[in-house]
Amino acid sequence: MTNTAPRQVVIDTNCVLDLWVFDDPDSAGLKGMITSGKLQWVATAAMQDEWCRVLDYPLIQRARLQRGLDATTILEAIEPWVTWMPTADRCSTLCRDPDDQLFIDLALAHGALLVSKDREVLALQSALMRQGVRVLKPVQIKNLID
């Protein structure tokens, strides 16, 4: 019997915003893979807390209000596509930005793809690849799975 479970993916907050607030064309392939079930988006309650906090930053708040989006609507749109996981243990690969550590920890704990545009996360690509986690920018993901 073959394993047909979709590949798991962890998505950092900036990329979540690109997907659900800004409709960034570079993220369209990623969004399609999530909504079609080709990828299983995994996240934790702490990640959701960060999304809520960031959605209220003045710049993000202005952008979402210009698009007629309130934070609750965005979180409700995200909900069907997320598989909630317990918080992962801290791993030995540490990010210089502590806000990004929870994404790295979860990706390593599940051997998931990690989607990020964050410089500090991208700087860890080699170290994470050695541990079985591939870090990709949103635009790169379509080439991986299509």
Confirm whether 16 is domain-assigned.
yes
- Assigned domain for 47 exists: yes
| Percentage of residues in the chain having pLDDT higher than 90 | 81
Amino acid at 128: L
**124 within domain boundaries:** yes
Model confidence pTM above 0.95: no
Whether 126 is in a domain gets the answer: yes
What stretches of the chain show up as alpha helix (H) in DSSP? Answer: 13-20, 28-35, 45-55, 58-66, 71-78, 101-110, 119-122, 125-130, 138-145
Structure tokens at 52: 């809520």
Inform me whether the pLDDT recorded for 146 exceeds 50: no
Number of domain units in the chain: 1
| Three-state DSSP state, 99 | helix
In a domain, 55, yes or no: yes
Is 2 domain-assigned? no
* 1 within some domain: no
Look at residue 65 and tell me if it is in a domain: yes
Residue 109 has what pLDDT?
96
The mean pLDDT value for 63-75 works out to: 94
Q: Which pLDDT tens digit goes with each residue over 75-116?
A: 999 999 999 999 998 888 888 888 899 999 999 999 999 999
Q: Which domain holds residue 61?
A: 7-145
| CATH number reported for the structural domain that contains residue 124 in this entry | 3.40.50.1010
